[in-house]
A and B are shown apart, each in its own frame.
Chain A
Amino acid sequence: SAVISQKPSRDICQRGTSLTIQCQVDSQVTMMFWYRQQPGQSLTLIATANQGSEATYESGFVIDKFPISRPNLTFSTLTVSNMSPEDSSIYLCSARTSAYNEQFFGPGTRLTVL
């Protein structure tokens, strides 16, 4: 298995500001993903974080709004830019282990935008 940590665990932000969320995995993984979980909803994929290249975004999510970095095989960041109250969600990082195609999740970052 992989142990994933995220920082911050929660934050309250003002409209128009940006927040960067960090995701650290305790071992090298092939793939990392970012998901959003809006209140009372299921998880929606934002993007696949590709090591050394630009992230692959899902329909409805754009790089200007959610820039992602993945400088190595254990670390990734997601920035939520120019935030609005609609961005209030839990943001979760996940990692896929190639050995067994298991996917584990970080504890999430609970974001509230005022």
Chain B
Amino acid sequence: AQKVTQAQTEISVVEKEDVTLDCVYETRDTTYYLFWYKQPPSGELVFLIRRNSFDEQNEISGRYSWNFQKSTSSFNFTITASQVVDSAVYFCALSVTDSGYALNFGKGTSLLVTP
């Protein structure tokens, strides 16, 4: 069985602070994919990143960066110099071949960035 844990339910930061959202996953599959999505107040789910289990390279995209560590089964997401527009719920998700690549979501972390 697969499981995704996002232990942080809510995080509140002041603009320009850095913030890290934690994601821990469980799976017995050796091939799997990890995702992060952003859900702003408008409700749409915005794809941020996909990472497969064979690629442990960290990735940076502008103010966003992701740290994938198989040794600790974690796929953490850092926003540098946060902005008010970053306020949203962020979901980490896992998919494996045996589940037909359907996504298994964590409970989400609600991030509030205040001016």
The interface-forming segment of A20-28, A73-81, A102-110 is: A102-110
Residue of A nearest to B45 (CB): A105
Residue of B nearest to A98 (CB): B101
Contact among A48, A56, A103 for B47, CB-based, below 8 A: A103
Contact among A33, A102, A104, A107 for B43, CB-based, below 8 A: A107
Tell me if B50 and A102 are in contact (CB < 8 A).
Answer: yes
**Chain B 74-115 against A: per-residue CB contact (8 Å), 1 yes, 0 no?**
000000000000000001000100001111111110000000
Q: How far does the Cβ of B50 sit from chain A's closest Cβ, in whole Å?
A: 5
Tell me if B105 and A100 are in contact (CB < 8 A).
Answer: no
B105 neighbours in A (Cβ, 8 Å): 42-44
A side interface size, CB within 8 A? 24
Tell me if A101 and B52 are in contact (CB < 8 A).
Answer: yes
Tell me if A42 and B50 are in contact (CB < 8 A).
Answer: no
Tell me if A31 and B35 are in contact (CB < 8 A).
Answer: no
Residue of A nearest to B33 (CB): A101
Residue of A nearest to B47 (CB): A104
Residue of B nearest to A104 (CB): B47
* A96 interfacial contact with B, CB 8 Å: yes
Could you list which residues of chain A lie within 8 angstroms of chain B, going by C-beta atoms? 1, 31, 33, 35, 41-45, 48, 56, 90, 92, 94, 96, 100-105, 107-108, 110
Known: A101-B101, A102-B47, A108-B44. 7 other contacts (CB 8 A): A1-B47, A31-B100, A43-B105, A96-B101, A101-B50, A105-B37, A108-B45
